[in-house]
Amino acid sequence: DTAVSQTPKYLVTQMGNDKSIKCEQNLGHDTMYWYKQDSKKFLKIMFSYNNKELIINETVPNRFSPKSPDKAHLNLHINSLELGDSAVYFCASSPKNMNTEAFFGQGTRLTVV
Amino acid sequence: GENVEQHPSTLSVQEGDSAVIKCTYSDSASNYFPWYKQELGKRPQLIIDIRSNVGEKKDQRIAVTLNKTAKHFSLHITETQPEDSAVYFCAASSNFNKFYFGSGTKLNVKP
């Protein structure tokens, strides 16, 4: 029944590793996002995809690579993890170009040690 | 790109008092302004939103006002309750679903 679901909820990994976070939405939305929330609670947009096409890339290091196999999924792959990547990552979705509510997933707390 | 500023960063009120959170934005193309509430360890959830063709919107104890000329909008919570304690985010978005969030306000309602 969950509208936007992310896995895993928690992820602890060592520096230098590569990891992925998966996101799926069952709302039929065309637009999906990844946001990063740091320890100070800033919610910063990283990427936005519209029907599998990248429309926003907010100067995120190229160690971060989003992949959208279809419009219901937007996964985030991170290479060579660094300590500063530790944060909560939120996936979200909204209808295309309708300027309405963005629905958030429950977040993935990534801790790099 | 859009720049959204939010004040204050923390706000402590007594139960029953009102709370006001203010945001400004920079992009005149922004036309949708949602407010999200994030409880500890939870996801942000929409509590109220306003579009650029409206100056004020109210839903029970919460209201939002928008001044497009001055590029600022505010959230008003009346008769605050302890369960209102959370982090509140304002956001601005243009026609292409580019949501940009403010830095958040941690509201603490003291019983």
- Rounded Cα gap, residues B67 and B63, in angstroms: 14
Backbone angles phi, psi at A83, to 5 degrees: -55, -40
- Nearest CB among B89, B95, B101 relative to A97 is that of B95
Nearest to B97 by CA among A38, A4, A108, A103: A103
**Residues of chain B scoring pLDDT < 50:** none
Residue ranges, chain A, pLDDT below 50:
none
Quote the pLDDT of residue A54. 84
How far, in Å, CA of B80 to CA of A99, rounded? 29
Residue of A nearest to B94 (CA): A99
DSSP code, position A102: P
Render pLDDT for B50-81 as a digit per residue (tens, 0 to 9). Answer: 998 889 999 999 999 999 999 999 999 999 99
Which residues of A lie inside 8 Å of B (Cβ-Cβ)? 31, 33, 35, 40-45, 48, 50, 55-56, 58, 90, 92, 94, 96-102, 104-107
